[in-house]
């Protein structure tokens, strides 16, 4: 297991966003995380990536307890993420976003605001890596376009590219194809599947069909708990899962 979440609890005031959550992610797999709105999916991603601290429980990455580390420390170890609401620098170009990304993961956001241009200059080394990833994602032709001029789907691709810049061991994707047309959504997952040779993915996604096609393993959340898990074919007919989605 490259990632292990052990009995994690996280509350916001009276709301138990995560309750006794445990899961394991095997290396070089794509693991899906589904569940209704407010079931705790993003909170779990935030806890794993260090954006939120657990109340109790532990998170292990490659056997190391990362529960009390800061986001940039966790990113340095090789856990990178994307955000449910795409976070890109709209006033910078695609290439600049790519170059800034690994810095952001390493140093945190504040450093970046103060030294933005300087850091871009320092990142000549990363340029080759950026081009390689942009080419792989088929958005290389957009490299000098401002990020705000990209379509929603292209912005999602860019965020995936930004997450890949640090060459992470595991990538946490929070709704990587939300609002993206089915053709591009499929293409994004095809790219993720190709990357599976090199790394591991934990993907939050509402589109169950696409998860069925691409995931090796799926966890289902409801009201802060994992209520089912298994291979896609095991999840498909699972009554708890059907209840959770149809029963509200
Ligand atoms: N920072 C926060 N402060 C207070 N409550 C929060 C915070 N973040 C999440 N919550 C609450 O925790 C619960 C789980 O939210 P979370 O965002 O993890 O759900 P989700 O499964 O990602 O939902 P969605 O599918 O809508 O993105 C919800 O009740 C939410 O309102
Ligand atoms: Mg969410």
> What mean pLDDT do residues 112-141 have?
78
Atom in ligand 1 nearest the alpha carbon of residue 44: 18
Please answer whether residues 49 and 59 qualify as being in contact, where contact means their C-beta atoms are separated by less than 8 angstroms.
no
pLDDT at 119: 61
- Residue whose C-alpha is closest to residue 48's, from 76, 16, 81: 81
Ligand 1 binding site (Cβ under 6 Å of any ligand atom): 12, 15, 17, 35, 37-43, 84
Confidence of residue 237 (pLDDT cuts 50, 70, 90): confident
The average pLDDT across 20-33 equals 98
Name the percent of the chain in helix, strand, coil, to the closest 5. 45, 25, 30
Instruction: Decide if 169 contacts 62 (C-beta within 8 A).
Output: yes
CA angle 97/193/203 to nearest 5° reads 70
Closest CA to 218 of 203, 230, 202: 230
Confidence category of residue 236, pLDDT binned at 50, 70, 90: confident
pLDDT category at 70 given cuts 50, 70, 90 is very high
Question: What are the distances in angstroms from CA 85 to CA 89, 141, 218?
Answer: 13, 24, 22
pLDDT tens for 42-51 read 999 999 999 9
Nearest to 179 by CA among 145, 205, 146: 205
CA of 120 to the centre of ligand 1 (A): 34
Query: What is the band of 139 on the pLDDT scale with cuts at 50, 70, 90?
Result: very high
Task: State the Rg of the chain over Cα.
Answer: 18
> Are 158 and 97 a contacting pair, CB within 8 Å?
yes
Q: What H or E segment, with its residue span, contains residue 19?
A: strand 15-25
Query: Which of 39, 202, 219 for mutating ligand 1's site (highest number of atoms within 8 Å of CB)?
Result: 39
Domains of the chain: 1-78+200-248 (3.40.50.300), 79-167 (3.40.50.300)
| Residue closest to 31 by CA, chosen among 214, 248, 167 | 214
State percent of the chain over pLDDT 90.
Answer: 77
């Amino acid at each position: 297991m490259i990632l292990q979440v052990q009995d994690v609890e996280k509350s916001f005031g009276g709301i138990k966003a995560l309750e006794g959550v445990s899961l394991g992610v095997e290396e070089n797999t794509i693991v899906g995380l589904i569940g209704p709105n407010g079931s705790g999916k993003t909170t779990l991603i935030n806890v794993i990536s260090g954006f939120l601290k657990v109340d109790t429980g532990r998170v292990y990455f490659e056997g190391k307890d990362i529960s009390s580390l800061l986001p940039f420390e966790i990113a340095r170890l090789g856990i990178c993420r994307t955000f449910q609401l795409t976070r890109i620098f709209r006033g910078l170009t695609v290439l600049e976003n790519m170059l800034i990304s690994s810095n952001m993961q390493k140093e945190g956001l504040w450093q970046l605001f103060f030294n933005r241009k300087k850091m871009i200059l320092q990142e000549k080394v990363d340029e080759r890596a950026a081009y390689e990833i942009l080419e792989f994602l088929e958005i290389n032709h957009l490299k000098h376009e401002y990020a705000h001029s990209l379509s929603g789907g292209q912005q999602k691709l860019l965020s995936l590219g930004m997450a890949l810049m640090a060459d992470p061991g595991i990538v946490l994707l929070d709704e990587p194809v939300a609002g993206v047309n089915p053709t591009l959504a499929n293409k994004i997952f095809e790219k993720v599947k190709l990357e599976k040779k090199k790394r591991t993915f934990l993907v939050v996604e509402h589109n169950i069909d696409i998860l069925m096609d691409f995931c090796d393993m799926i966890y289902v959340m409801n009201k802060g708990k994992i209520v089912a898990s298994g291979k896609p074919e095991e999840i498909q007919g699972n009554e708890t899962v059907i209840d959770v989605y149809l029963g509200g």
